[in-house]
Structure 1
Amino acid sequence: MANRDDVNIQSPELGEPPAAAQEVFGDRLPLAREYAEFLATAGIERGLLGPREVPRIWERHVLNSAVLGEVIDEGCRVVDIGSGAGLPGIPLAIARPDLKVQLLEPLLRRYNFLSEINDRLDLGCEAVRGRAEEPDVVRALGGADVATSRAVAPLGKLTRWSLPLVRVGGAMKALKGGSVAEELERDAKEIAKAGGGDGTIQLVGESKVAEPTHVITIPRIK
């Protein structure tokens, strides 16, 4: 594990984790706290999040991502596409240590951030630099149980990127906004062409976070 003597001082705007954080992370809450602090300091300094996001890091980013674990089976291999600052992959890995989480990110500075926080927290994730649509990435990461993402692309394009990374019978489980039902209807032909089955939309974290997360699940059927 990396030396933690150089951990950044907590941003005064970040505040204490909400009560739900204990329920979501259990005895791994100290790891979630350290990640939130890293987002509020190094994440802002390196341009991964805007300064105005600091007061919302717990609710809008960390918890909002971690509750994705409610719809992922035990022991799955999960590829987080366009992981960026590690959302949703790192909160998911903290809340669900049974998962094998791979953080896929094309930009070097973000890849370096992911590698650093993974080493600092000793999460056992794998940071991979590349794009989901690249053949080398598909060969290296293909066959996963789940491909996930957050605020990466419109649904049709996201499905084309995600489904080649999962096995037949696996699924894309993407965090989306409230208009996801309209996206699902709009992009139905593109989803089917990509080998996707019927999509389902779930709200996760309803009893835990102020703004529950919409998750769209599209199974790979061919």
Structure 2
Amino acid sequence: MTESVESLVCVHEKKLREYVSLLSSYEGKIRLTGPSDPEVLWNEHIVDCLHSVPYLPESGRALDVGSGGGLPGLVWALCRPDLQVTLLDSVRKKCGALGEMAAALRLENVQVVCARCEEYAVKEREVFHCAAARAVASADVLLEYLAPFVTVLGRVIAFKGPLYVEEIKPMEGKWARLGLSAPEVHTYTAGEKERYLLLWTKQTPVPKQFPRKIGMAEKTKWWR
């Protein structure tokens, strides 16, 4: 763990461990993250999410798209009680679990929304100071999903493994089509796995046609 992650653990470990216990108990009922072993959840999921906390905005609203079990959104909410965090997922059972976990953790800065991101972006366009997704889709699809939500000068965050290089290569030099900068890439390890945090800064508003209708981001690439 990096020094910044270690300091976050020192301050927030009790609450984070409580969250891991809740997440583990839900895995037997609803598939949220996959593993139910608390140490695997801690090492491969909580630590992974903690690496993004230093890049959150100083204040405002953050969005976790395809939140599933609340990763990274509930980790953000626990570490940054001053930040308003929205957890977005299209699966009603997962949204129910997210709401129950947020209540059990006594988090007053969390909102759970059950909707498709393509539809929610019409309502909440360019109002979040950062938006992230973890284990949801390929980088090009994620960018079309996330960029419309973020304010100018806000951040888009993606958690990736080593194959991110192949994912982003076709988009090089075309980021401006979604109003984005080229990505910053930060390397770290979580549970002995090599991980990469990709950060884009929103430079201009996203063209009105994005995001497109449900399913279009996967079928037709925005960068072509």
Bin the TM-score by the shorter chain.
0.7 to 0.9
Taking a change above 3 Å as real, the CA distance of residues 193 and 53 of structure 1, as seen in their structure-2 partners, is farther
Question: Given the alignment, which residue of 169, 186, 202 partners 2:186?
Answer: 202
- Contact 2:132-2:146 within 8 A present in 1 as well: yes
Opposite residue 127 of structure 1, the aligned amino acid is V
Deviations 1:122-142 (A, max 9, x none): 1121111112211x4442363
Cα 1:57–1:103, aligned 2, differ >3 Å: closer, same or farther?
A: same
Gaps in structure 2 of 5+ consecutive residues: 205-224
Over residues 167-201 of structure 1, what are the superposed CA-to-partner deviations in whole Å (9 max), with x where a residue is unaligned? 11112011111222332212336643222221111
Q: CA deviation at 1:52?
A: 6.2
Q: Which secondary structure state, in structure 1, belongs to the residue aligned with residue 124 of structure 2?
A: helix
Q: CA 1:28 to 1:54, structure 2 compared with 1: closer, same or farther past 3 Å?
A: closer
Residue type of the partner of 2:163?
S
Instruction: Give the residue type in structure 2 aligned to 1:102.
Output: T
Structure 2 residue 121 is matched with structure 1 residue 114: no
Counterpart residue number, 1:155: 139
Correspondence 1:217 to 2:202: no
d(CA) in 2 for partners of 1:44 and 1:95? Answer: 26
Q: Does 47-56 or 75-84 show the bigger shift?
A: 47-56
Equivalent pairs counted in the alignment come to 200
Q: More displaced, 41-50 or 147-156?
A: 41-50
Secondary structure in 2 matching 1:45: coil
Return the offset for 1:29: 2.1
Match of 1:174 in 2: 158
Aligned to 1:142: 126
Query: Structure 2 CA distance, aligned partners of 1:203 and 1:44?
Result: 32
1:132 and 2:132 matched: no
Contact 2:156/2:201 (<8 A) preserved: yes
Answering whether residue 167 of structure 2 is matched by residue 183 of structure 1, we say: yes
Which residue of the other structure, out of 49, 72, 77, is the alignment partner of 2:61? 77
User: Residue in 1 aligned with 2:212?
Assistant: none
**2:187–2:197: 8 Å Cα contact kept in structure 1?**
yes
User: Could you state the TM-score of these two structures normalised by the residue count of structure 1?
Assistant: 0.80
Instruction: Measure, in 2, the Cα distance between the counterparts of 1:194 and 1:27.
Output: 37
The equivalent of 1:103 in structure 2 is: 87
What is the percentage of aligned positions where both structures have the same residue? 26
Rounded Cα–Cα distance in structure 2 between residues aligned with 1:77 and 1:119: 19
Higher mean C-alpha displacement, 157-166 vs 185-194: 185-194
Counterpart contact for 1:102–1:125, Cα < 8 Å:
yes
Q: What per-residue deviation string (whole Å, max 9, x for no partner) do you get for residues 21-72 of structure 1? A: 8632334322211110111112332222334655411010112112210222
What TM-score do you get using the length of structure 2 for normalisation? 0.79
